């Protein structure tokens, strides 16, 4: 399997439940070749770097999935809020990518 095929396959499988993730908006796939050894990692939009483990012929996305499902990922949280478009969630919509709202300095 070539990297392009792998990437294409992953793009399809990366849709988490009903959420659509768009590269490079939501994540960035980084593949490095060190001495013929491929290493892959994903930089999430929330700023987290997730290393992918290789399973013989392909990379496993379980780490990335676990990250998306965890509470750490602010990108998924904001995406879920967008999807639900529920006004009750607006108050906790801490989008780290908006620099003009510096209210959440307690973190
Ligand atoms: Zn994330």
pLDDT digits (tens, 9 = 90+) for 42-101: 999 999 999 998 877 778 888 988 898 888 899 888 877 776 665 554 445 555 455 554
Q: How many CB atoms lie under 10 A from the CB of residue 93?
A: 13
73 CA to centre of ligand 1 in angstroms: 4
DSSP 41: E
Give residue 88 CA to ligand 1 midpoint distance, Å.
22
Distance (angstroms) between ligand 1 centre and the Cα of 24 equals: 13
- Rounded to the nearest angstrom, the distance between the alpha carbon of 56 and the centre of ligand 1 is 26
Ligand 1 centre to CA of 50 (Å) is: 9
Report the pLDDT value the prediction gives residue 31, as an integer from 0 to 100. Answer: 85
In the prediction, which pLDDT does 74 show?
A: 92
| pLDDT higher at 42 or 15 | 42
Which parts of the chain are beta strand (E)?
27-34, 37-44, 49-55, 58-60
Q: Are 97 and 47 in contact (CB under 8 A)?
A: no
């Amino acid at each position: 399997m070539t990297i392009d095929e792998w990437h294409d396959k992953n793009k399809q499988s990366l849709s988490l439940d009903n959420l659509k993730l768009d590269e490079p908006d939501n994540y960035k796939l980084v593949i490095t070749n060190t001495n013929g050894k491929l290493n892959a990692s994903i930089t999430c939009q929330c700023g987290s770097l997730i290393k992918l483990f290789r399973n013989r012929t392909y990379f496993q996305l379980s780490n990335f999935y676990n990250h998306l499902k965890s509470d750490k990922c602010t990108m998924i949280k904001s995406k879920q809020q967008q999807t639900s478009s529920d006004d009750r969630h607006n108050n906790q919509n801490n989008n780290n990518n908006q620099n003009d709202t510096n209210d959440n300095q307690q973190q």
